């Protein structure tokens, strides 16, 4: 594995599939023109609207999202992760699915979000993801690659559950994807610090694509797509507008941090 550039894309997705895919294509193109070889799209990249709309259109969203990821990966000759789009499972429910595609258009890894966001926030917003989303039952996979190292998948709310990332680091993860649509209310206090904690605990890079701005009604996302190094240092921050955070993923940096702080070797409890 050699050093390479990774990109965490930041979008303002809305309840319009075609508009979102056009926005995603423009941002992927921007990332590639800056040298990115591994690119991540945020949770709900292809559709962010009312739950009833999402379920009604889920089959078409899933079909177009998957084809889009394969087409873009092949066109730009990159590894491309789409972090969270609905895939129907019957009975009016979907899996919140993250998909990693290789430069030849083949599927490298698939993960169905385990931890579902059911929260009443003080800002008046209520989120009940479990009403329409079925929780995945399998731990997220590691994609082992000579080009990009060992990549681990997760989605948004998962970041609050450190045991999931410890599982991935025990499987040899070098970089961890956390595509998200973090709420504006929780994001301002928790988003960056949680990602830094997961990076430090597991001495891994964190690649965290994000949603930002107003999507519909009162639904606002925090933004700040981030790439964080294994010491917890923020290497790139996309701020509050749609754009791209790009940084180098350096295997020597991973080795250096793990030599300086060999905490993974000192685990007492599995």
Active site residues: 43, 113, 156
Q: Which of 221, 226, 236, 238 is nearest to 198 (CA)?
A: 226
**What is the length of the chain?**
270
- Classified as helix, coil or strand, 62 is helix
178/124 Cα distance (integer angstroms): 26
92-to-51, 53, 61, 242 alpha-carbon distances in Å: 10, 11, 14, 31
Judge contact between 227 and 244, C-beta under 8 A. no
**CA dihedral of residues 256, 236, 187, 152 (deg, nearest 10):** -50
Closest CA to 208 of 178, 238, 235: 178
Residue 203 vs residues 167, 174, 210: alpha-carbon distances, Å: 13, 8, 22
List Cβ neighbours of 13 (8 Å cut-off, separation of 6 or more): 20, 23, 42, 44, 45, 46, 47, 48, 181, 211, 215
The enclosing H or E element of 215 equals strand 210-216
């Amino acid at each position: 594995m050699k050093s390479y550039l990774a990109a965490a894309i930041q979008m303002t997705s809305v309840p319009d599939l075609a508009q979102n895919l056009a926005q995603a294509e423009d941002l992927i193109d921007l990332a590639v023109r800056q040298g990115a070889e591994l690119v991540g799209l945020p949770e709900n990249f292809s559709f962010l609207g009312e739950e009833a709309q999402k379920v009604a259109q889920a089959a078409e969203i899933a079909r177009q999202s998957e084809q889009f990821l394969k087409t873009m990966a092949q066109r730009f000759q990159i590894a491309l992760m789409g972090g969270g789009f609905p895939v129907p499972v019957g009975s009016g429910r979907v899996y919140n699915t993250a998909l990693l595609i290789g430069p030849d258009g083949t599927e490298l890894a698939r993960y169905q979000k385990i931890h579902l966001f059911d929260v009443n926030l003080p800002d008046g917003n209520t989120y009940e993801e479990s009403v329409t989303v079925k929780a995945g039952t399998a731990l997220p996979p590691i994609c082992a690659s000579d080009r990009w190292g060992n990549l681990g998948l997760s989605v948004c709310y998962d970041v609050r559950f450190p045991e999931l990332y410890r599982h991935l680091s025990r499987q040899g993860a070098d970089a961890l994807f956390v595509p998200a649509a973090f709420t504006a209310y929780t994001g301002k206090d928790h988003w960056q610090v949680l990602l830094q904690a997961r990076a430090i605990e597991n001495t891994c890079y964190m690649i965290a694509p994000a949603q930002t701005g107003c999507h519909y009604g009162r639904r606002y996302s925090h933004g700040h797509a981030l790439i964080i190094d294994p010491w917890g240092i923020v290497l790139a921050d996309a701020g509050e507008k749609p754009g791209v955070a790009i940084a180098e993923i350096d295997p020597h940096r991973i080795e250096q941090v793990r030599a300086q702080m060999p905490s993974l070797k000192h685990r007492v409890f599995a």
